[in-house]
Amino acid sequence: MKIYKVTAPSNIAFLKYWGKQDEKLQWPSNNSLSMTLNECQTFTTACVQNSLKNFSFKKEGENEQEDSFSLKVIKHLEFLKKKYQFPSFLEVSTHNNFPTASGVASSASGFAALTLVAIAAWTESSSFHELEEKGFSRETLAQLARLGSGSAGRSLFGGYVVWKKGSSPEGQRVACFLPKSHWDLADTIVILSKEEKDLSSREAHKRVPTSPLFSVRLSGLCEREKLFLQALEKKDMKSLGALLELEALEIHFILMTAAEPFSYLKENTLEFLSWLRNLRQETHLEAYFTIDAGANVHVICEFSKREEFLFYFRRDFPKTHFLLDAVGDGPKLFVTEE
Ligand code: DP6
């Protein structure tokens, strides 16, 4: 029996996907831009089981469960099976090499891995080249993955990735903007809260358009995107850093001013942000924060500056956990015979 195995990375958004113009069609309110990570990965295996009457999905080391993630996974597999009329069900199992509550987007790596491994198993493809020959280019796979979770589409590519919303839901595009080799950026993920986040990003996307700040955000995003792309192209850390922090604070303030307000930022998150800004003033160390839908902070700096950042961080936060990550390649596909 052939077992298809995929490892897919998470990604950290620089320009954030925040709000949906059409929820059913997973059409975002704005373009987004992310850096694919290297270390935080989801590992998923799939095999075709002709005897199965339903999908079997397990998180490794756990029994089959009916939690919200597992239900979303089954729904996504059912959608793919129906869309392409694949005859068989699959046995799927998955695990992450990072804690789910770390503020790292596990749905991004999770749905990227799931989509890729399921299509590879159904089409009996053992490489991206074979997938492409069968009509599943990386771009097509990204389009399918984003239907499971928007940010997952970006995890199909390595390096710096753009998701363009286009002028209609069908006009969306996901593509690599610059490869990993263009700029060696590091991401140190500071774990300030180990609790699972108490509002899903799916729910946050629904709430943010009700903030009076939302339309102000959208009106400035075209210009901000241009500046982000320029900063990346020129490897201009100062400009990139200012944009990262503005973007992160803006999306959180929008959620805090929604009709049903919510804040992911805890007291110690805010303390950490002030600490980082003070450190920058005192030492001129170019390290900047960004935060997705959670309380933990991603500190972005050039790889060559990470040791210096860690020196101050360990000195001032000796008990705080962190994960070391950096810009990485896209997903990988393997096949084994058992
Ligand atoms: C703050 O991709 O998790 O991380 O499409 O509803 O599954 P769904 O949302 P999701 O949203 C991610 C939000 C974000 C920003 C980003 O990754 O761009």
> Mind giving me the DSSP string for 250-291?
HHHHHHHTSSS------HHHHHHHHHHHHHHHHH---EEEE-
Ligand 1 atom closest to residue 105's alpha carbon, by position in its atom list = 4
pLDDT tens readout for residues 182-225: 999 999 999 998 777 789 999 999 999 999 999 999 999 999 99
Long-range contacts for 300-304 (Cβ within 8 Å, ≥24 apart)? 300/12, 300/35, 300/185, 300/186, 300/187, 300/240, 300/241, 300/244, 301/185, 301/186, 301/188, 301/237, 302/183, 302/184, 302/185, 302/186, 302/237, 303/184, 303/185, 303/186, 304/184
Global model pTM greater than 0.85: yes
- What is the atom index within ligand 1 of the atom nearest the CA of 16? 18
Determine the distance separating the centroid of ligand 1 and the alpha carbon of 292, expressed in angstroms: 8
- The predicted pLDDT at position 194 comes to 75
* pLDDT given at position 326: 98
pLDDT at position 68: 83
Which residue in 24, 80, 38, 36 sits closest to 55, CA to CA? 80
To test the pocket of ligand 1, the residue of 151, 253, 290 to mutate (highest count of ligand atoms within 8 Å of its CB) is: 151
The partner residues of 288 in beta bridges, in order of sequence, read 300
Q: What percent of the chain has pLDDT over 70?
A: 98
**Average predicted confidence (pLDDT) for the chain:** 95
Residues 249 and 119 in one domain: no
Same domain, 171 and 212: no
Give the CATH number, domain containing residue 272.
Answer: 3.30.70.890
Domain co-membership, 125 together with 225: no
Judgement on whether residues 254 and 212 belong to the same structural domain of the protein: yes
CA of 338 to the centre of ligand 1 (A): 36
Cα separation, 250 vs 247, in Å, equals 5
| Å from CA of 19 to ligand 1 middle | 9
Q: Can you tell me which atom of ligand 1 is nearest the CA of 292?
A: 1
Residue 32 Cα to ligand 1 middle (Å): 10
Residues 318 and 333 reside in one and the same domain:
no
Residues 176 and 200 in one domain: no
151 and 223 part of one domain: no
Give the pLDDT of residue 275.
Answer: 98
Instruction: Give the per-residue pLDDT at 27.
Output: 97
66 and 159 fall within a common domain: yes
Write down the pLDDT at residue 102.
Answer: 57
pLDDT in tens, 46-100: 999 999 999 999 988 777 777 888 999 999 999 999 999 999 999 999 999 987 7
Taking CA atoms, 288 is separated from 109, 186, 256, in Å, by 24, 11, 22
- Residue 121 belongs to a domain with what CATH number? 3.30.230.10
Question: What is the percent of the chain with per-residue pLDDT over 90, rounded to a whole number?
Answer: 89
| Same-domain pairing of 63 and 98 | yes
Residues 262 and 307 in one domain: yes
Ligand 1 contacts (CB < 6 A) are 13, 16-17, 32, 105, 107, 149-151, 201-202, 205, 292-293
Q: Give the ligand 1 atom nearest the CA of 15.
A: 18
Q: Could you tell me the residue range of the domain that residue 301 belongs to?
A: 185-326
Mark whether 162 and 191 lie in a shared domain: no
Q: Give the pLDDT confidence score for residue 3 in this predicted structure.
A: 97
Atom of ligand 1 nearest to the CA of 34: 18
265-277 confidence digits (pLDDT tens): 999 999 999 999 9
| Whether 51 and 171 share a structural domain | yes
149 Cα–ligand 1 center, Å: 7
Quick one: average pLDDT of 1-20?
97
Structural domains of the chain, count: 2
* pLDDT for residue 103: 60
